[in-house]
Chains A and B, each alone.
Chain A
Amino acid sequence: MNLMMVVGPVLLLFIVLGFVTYAILFERKVIGWIQNRIGPNRVGPWGLLQTVADVFKLLIKEDIIPAKADESLFRLAPVIAFVPAFAVLAVIPFTEKIQFADFAVGLLYYMAISSITIIGILVGGWASNNKYALLGGMRSAAQMISYEIPLVMSVVGIIMSVGSLNLHEIVEAQQKVWFIFPQFVGFAVFLIASISELNRTPFDLPEAESELVAGYHVEYTGFRFAFFMLAEYVYVFAMASLTTVLYLGGWNAPFGLTFIPPIVWFILKFSLIVFFLFWVRATMPRIRVDQLMQFAWKVLLPLALANIFITAVFKEIPVIGKFY
């Protein structure tokens, strides 16, 4: 076991924490700009310490566990929610060399591990012993399980083209054409389903501030609440990375601009996806709860299935087939 095995994940954790800190600031800044405001600018130069101050506030808050709550589950829930969020990062190939675990079923691993977070959310809602938290948790679980199916179905097209679940090989296969072009329908379904998986606007029904009390984390304060939020933003990191890897060609440089190092390309594409998430949040109103499930099962799933079918057909057509 070499040193990198220990230092690498710790380094990644700090990178992810740094990302989360500044993603939150950047999100608030972007939403501010879109609403013709400046955004946070009081704490530190350009508001750079705003999130640090917010997190510090959460950490020094009193740690409250409701008297009627199931204490051990209540303590466990944020951990169950956060650990998978960080664990999925292991398979993401950031560049050709920077990847922690390169195994054959990387994509399956990501999808499987990321669904464990739902259990954390459900446990959090249950253990709070609060009807609002329970309803929020139920809603959240229903939404995330429903949208996971089109999410997985939409990437089947890629798996068929590449013939592998290994994320490294998926990126290698995109050296000439990124999958966003031949798999555009799959990309659209994946993007929508991933926003829903992330519980972000326009699919933020589980914690809709203007409608519900707060969703599954009503009873959480302090660092446990911070952990749920952290899990959410680590998933933004993971999902943006996965989208980059699957559809935007990972670290591959477009137009042969290979003099720019691959990690920079990865960060650029990754930032574009993250910006897109914030941009959508500032634009879209929340989807109606009665349309939420119908949208997943009656629109996204058939589209994803059609995408699989089209991919299978096009693979056999001589000229177009080489793109699939």
Chain B
Amino acid sequence: MFGLVKGLGITLKNMTKPKVTYSYPDEPLEMPDRFRGIQHFDPEKCIVCNQCARICPTDCITLTGKKHPDPEKKGKVIDTYDINFEICILCDLCTEVCPTEAIVMTNNYELAVYSRDELFKDLEWLHNNNTNIRVENNSAKPKAPGGKSS
């Protein structure tokens, strides 16, 4: 019998506790660092080594390179770079394997679109996806002070 009253007391107290819900579509969710979001691509850094396309478990990356415009220099520069987000599983392997960190993860995750075609992201789109770039495992980004020393 007393348990019923006790239960009522608990629920009454619960009413004043802070809410645990997020107002998600109104306010974007802060993702933790190390979150595997949509990739950011920097064509300046890319050396067209093709490692990302080869390691990709779903073969969602297609890239083409062209000869360096400066004939003095060796190697290639990137021409097209596309990720098909219909099949990309955001596994982070492409960014792990990239020797120059030309492709890195961001904390962005909103991929809902009205057409499948829109999920085919090209070089320009990936380059412009430059917000919330992941700091962790990214030497180009300064670590936050007070973080774990590596």
Contact = CB atoms under 8 A, between A and B. Distances in A.
Nearest to B9: A283
Interface centre among A34, A35, A283 (most CB of B within 10 A): A283
A282 B7 CA distance: 10
Interface string A82-106: 0000000000000000000000000
A279 B10 CA distance: 11
Say which size band chain B's interface belongs to. 10 to 19
A279 B15 CA distance: 10
A280 B8 contact: yes
A322 interface: no
A37 interface: yes
Query: What's the dominant secondary structure at chain A's contact region?
Result: helix
B20 A37 contact: yes
A284 B8 CA distance: 8
Interface residues of A, number: 12
A38 B21 contact: yes
B4 A284 contact: yes
Contacts of A36: 14, 17-21
B4 A33 contact: no
A282 B13 CA distance: 12
A30 interface: yes
B112 interface: no
A37 to B, nearest CB: 5
A175 B18 CA distance: 41
A284 B20 CA distance: 22
A41 to B, nearest CB: 8
Interface string B10-32: 11101101111100000000000
Contacts of B18: 36
A298 to B, nearest CB: 15
B20 A279 contact: no
B21 A37 contact: yes
Contacts of B21: 36-38
A282 B20 contact: no
Contacts of A34: 11-12, 14-15
A279 B8 CA distance: 7
B19 A38 contact: yes
A283 B8 contact: yes
A273 to B, nearest CB: 14
A124 B8 CA distance: 35
Interface string A250-292: 0000000000000000000000000000011011100000000
Interface of B: 4, 7-8, 10-12, 14-15, 17-21
The 6 tightest CB contacts between A and B, nearest first, are: A33-B15, A283-B11, A36-B20, A34-B11, A283-B7, A34-B14
17 contacts: A30-B15, A33-B14, A33-B15, A34-B12, A34-B15, A36-B14, A36-B17, A36-B18, A36-B20, A36-B21, A37-B21, A38-B19, A38-B21, A279-B8, A279-B11, A282-B11, A283-B11
Given A34-B11, A34-B12, A282-B11, 18 more contacts: A30-B15, A33-B14, A33-B15, A34-B14, A34-B15, A35-B14, A36-B17, A36-B18, A36-B20, A36-B21, A37-B20, A37-B21, A38-B21, A279-B12, A280-B8, A283-B7, A283-B10, A284-B4
